[in-house]
Structures are given as C-alpha cells and as structure tokens.
Amino acid sequence: MDVAGQNHAPRPARCANCGAPLSGRYCAACGQRVDTAPHSLGHFIGEAAEVLTHADSRLWGTLWPLLARPGFLTREYFAGRRARYLQPFRLYLIMSVLFFVLAAVLGGGDSSSVARPAAPMGPKDCSDVTTNLHLGSFQLQPRLQAACRNIRADSGREFNERLVHNLGRALFVFLPLMAALMKLLYWRPRRYYLEHLLLLIHNHSFAFLMMSIYMLATHWTSSGNVVGVLFLLTAWYLVRYLYRSMKTVYGQSGLLTFVKFSVLGVAYLLCGLFMVLATAFYSAATL
C-alpha cells in the first residue's frame, strides 16, 4: 500500500488563472491569490475588507512622507521600495480628484448669490465681445458672445465647472512638458526622463493636498487676518518643499539647486499662466 501511495503522489497544485505551479498563497506567475475558501457572501465581504484595509494602510503610510519629507517618495521609488507606498500615478489621481472636488464644492461662493436671479440683459449685452481669431473657417466671435451670455445667465456656474474639469485634463499635457524642461536643466550627469516626471507627479500630489487642506481651513473662518496668515504659511511651505525636493532627489549643491529652481519656477509660472488662459478660453468657447 505504501508503494502504491508513492506511485500515486498528489500533483502540485496549480493556479486556476494561468496554470503555473503554486508554492504559496499567491501565484508567482500572475499574482492571483489562491482561493481555497468557499464562495460565500461572508468570504467575499472579508476579501473586500482586506483589500480596502490594505489600500488604506498604504494611503496613510504615503501621506505623511508626502507632506513632511520632500523628494522622499521619489527616491524610494527608484530605490525599489515601492510596495509599501501608493503608486505615484494613483496618488496623483487621488490628490487631484480630492482637490477638484473640494474646489467645486467649496468654491461656489455665497449660497445666497446662487439663489438670486440673474439681472436681465439688454439686447446689446455681450455685443462688445470681439475677436479676430478664427480656426480655419470657424469664427470664434459668435461662440464667445454666446459664452458671455451663458456665463451671465447662471453667474458663471457652468463655466467654472468646465474650467475646473478642463484644467485637470490640461495638466496631463503640462506635466510631461515640464519634465522635458527639467531634463534640459539636469543634462549632466545624464538622468532618465522618468525621474523628472515622477518628481513632478509627487510634487503636484503634494501641492494638491496642501491646497485642499488650505481650502478646508479657510472655508470655516471669516477672519481676513487668519486667511492671510494661512495663505502666507501655505505659500512659504510650498516653495520650501519644492526646493528641498529637488535638492534631495538630485543631490546637487544648494546654490546650483536654487538657480535651477528659480529658472524652473519662472518657466512654470509662464507656462502655467498660458495653460490656464488657454483652458479658460477653450472652456468659454465650448459652452
């Protein structure tokens, strides 16, 4: 009987997803978890709770370094320590969605102004909006005059919503362009383009988080002095953080980092202003 048992030894378990041999709780080939529990509602709820708890733990473990340690997450990523933190792009999405949602909810102004009906417009309202710009045979002036009337009709509510939505999409073009500029600033020693892009993604995630905190803090106070102090503190910490992140990631001297930070800051402000104006123009023209 022992010999028969040896001749019919059980085959190693295989992954139900890809068929690879299993040696633990997860498949080494595709990463799927070995599911040995019965397919009950309790099992499903427990598995969902585990996934959410794991995601939350990584989120909270990422927020503190994001807030207090400039450049740390970027260095950790390229050092190979990635599983303990949220992936950069996912972190960016979470922080940007948080910011734009708060901007839409808290940026609506006084509720009494929303309830107040718009002032009646005369026949010549918005007739002074003129432009010679055109896209081929498409004239922009009629579109802009119509946008002016729409903005006045609802006090700019729809325009603000479109502007916020379009700014989020414009940043997906803006960040790669700024990463290309950083590659020119850091051409020696040679660095990968991805290093600059990930640093910008982490820094923008931090900026979205700081601005969200600022909006929440100032929403509940009506004191102009408190708002002014909070604005100065937020602006000072933001500038200091961005400078320290460049110095941490690239490891150059303070003077050289300051020069490159200044050049990047001027370019960022000019390009950012152009992006905002172009996005506002597009949002108004497509109302």
Partnered with residue 21 across adjacent β-strands are 14
pLDDT of 46: 65
Question: Which pLDDT belongs to residue 24?
Answer: 75
pLDDT at 224 (0 to 100): 80
Which helix (H) or strand (E) is 135 found in, with range? strand 134-135
pLDDT of residue 111: 39
Which residues, in sequence order, are CB contacts of 184 under 8 Å at separation 6+? Answer: none
Tokens of 278: 């172009």
What is the structure's pLDDT at 240?
96
Residues of the chain with pLDDT under 50: 1, 9, 108-123
| Cβ–Cβ < 8 Å for 70, 241 | yes
Backbone angles phi, psi at 134, to 5 degrees: -155, 155
Report pLDDT for 239: 95
pLDDT number for residue 130: 65
Q: What pLDDT does residue 118 have?
A: 47
Question: Can you give the pTM of this predicted structure?
Answer: 0.71
